[in-house]
Amino acid sequence: MTKEEEILAAAEDEFFRNGYDATSTATIAGRAGVTHAMVNYYFRTKEQLFFKIIDTHIQGFLGSLKKVMLAEGDFIQVLKGAAAALFDKIREDRKFPFIILDISRTHPEFLERYRETVMTLCRESIKRHAQRLAEQIQAGKVADCTMENIFETVLDLAAAPFLKIPFLEKIFGYDEEMIDRYLQSRREDIMETIKRKYAIKP
C-alpha cells in the first residue's frame, strides 16, 4: 500500500471514529507513519481529504439505492429491496449516518451538493413507479400513500436503527453481540413493517 493510500485509509478510520473536528491531521499522519505535512502534500488541505472520503461513500450509497429503486417489478418488493440495500450498506459503515449528521451541523453547505442528485433520484423513482403505484392503490392492493411519504419511511427504517446504537451501548449497556442481535431483528422488522404498512391483504 502506497503512503497516499495509507493516509487515506487512516483518515477514513479516524474521521469515521471521531468526526471532522475531533480528528487532527497529525494523528492521521501518525497512523500512516509519516508527518502531518504529508497530508497536505497529497491532499492539499484537511477539508479536501475529508470530502474526498465522504464523497466516495455518498456516491456508493446513492449508486446502490438507485440500482434498486429503478428496478422493475412488484412495488412492495422494490420498497423492501431499497430498504434492505440501504440497511446493508449502512451496516458496512455503521458510523456513516453520524458522519452525515456531523457534517450537516459543521458544514451545512456540503450536503446541499447532493440535493439535486437525491431529488432527481426521487423524481425518476416516482416516474417509474407512479403509474403502477396508482393502479395498485386503486385495485386496493397497496395502501394510499405518496411517494414522498414512502421515501421518508424507507429512510427512517433503514437509518434510524443505527443512530440509536450509542444509546443502547452507553445507556442500556448493550455489548457487541447484543447490538448484532438488535440489528438482525431490526432488519427483519423493516421488511415486516413495510409489508404491514403498505401491502393490503386480499
Tell me which residue of 151, 79, 155, 156 sits closest to 122, measured CA to CA. 151
- With respect to DNA, which residue has the nearer C-beta, 25 or 153? 25
- With respect to a copy of itself, which residue has the nearer C-beta, 106 or 138? 106
- With respect to DNA, which residue has the nearer C-beta, 34 or 90? 34
* Residue 33 lies near DNA (rule: CB under 7 A): yes
* Residue 18 lies near DNA (rule: CB under 7 A): no
* Residue 46 lies near DNA (rule: CB under 7 A): yes
Q: Which of 8, 34, 157, 190 forms a contact with DNA (CB under 7 A)?
A: 34
- With respect to DNA, which residue has the nearer C-beta, 2 or 202? 2
Query: Which listed option, DNA, a copy of itself, none, makes contact with residue 45 (CB within 5 to 8 Å by class)?
Result: DNA
Confirm if 60 and 49 have CB atoms less than 8 A apart. Answer: no
Query: Which listed option, a copy of itself, DNA, none, makes contact with residue 18 (CB within 5 to 8 Å by class)?
Result: a copy of itself
* Residue 25 lies near DNA (rule: CB under 7 A): yes
